[in-house]
């Protein structure tokens, strides 16, 4: 579930744009993230987490009078590390970052 702060921000932006009479609204929402840490063996340990409640947030925007026109996604890397494997078989690589959803709404 998006945090209350994130939800309030997104819904506030949507409400302000609607009240101004805007015809289009673009929102950017974090929908998941990739975390990880190098292991002691030099391999990588990544964990992917997603937020299934993003749909709830998009539904709330639509209830204001917006209609979802387009959705796109992008991985935004925030860091990474690599370490040599213990038996010399290469490197273990760990990436970290956020999966961002980009949503374009049209006034209904």
- What is the per-residue pLDDT across 68-83, written as a single tens digit (0 to 9) for each? 999 999 999 887 766 6
Neighbours of 48 (CB within 10 A): 10
Say what percent of the chain tops pLDDT 90. Answer: 56
pLDDT at 84: 61
Helix boundaries (H) for the chain = 4-20, 54-63
The residue among 53, 99, 106 whose CA lies nearest residue 76 is 99
Residue 81's domain comprises: 4-107
The rounded distance, in Å, linking the Cα atoms of 36 and 77 is 12
pLDDT at 19: 98
Q: Considering only 27-31, 33-37, 59-63, which range has the smallest mean pLDDT?
A: 33-37
Cβ atoms of 1 and 9 closer than 8 Å = no
Neighbours of 103 (CB within 10 A): 22
Number of domains in the chain: 1
């Amino acid at each position: 579930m998006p945090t209350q702060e994130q939800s309030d921000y997104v819904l506030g932006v949507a409400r302000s744009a609607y009240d101004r009479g805007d015809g289009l609204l673009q929102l950017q929402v974090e929908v998941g993230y990739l975390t990880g840490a190098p292991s002691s063996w030099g391999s990588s340990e990544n964990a992917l987490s997603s937020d299934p409640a993003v749909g709830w947030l998009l539904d709330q925007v639509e209830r204001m009078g917006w209609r979802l026109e387009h959705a796109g996604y992008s991985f935004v890397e925030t860091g990474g590390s690599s370490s040599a494997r213990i038996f010399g078989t290469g490197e273990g690589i760990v990436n970290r970052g956020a999966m961002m959803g980009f949503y374009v709404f049209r006034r209904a």
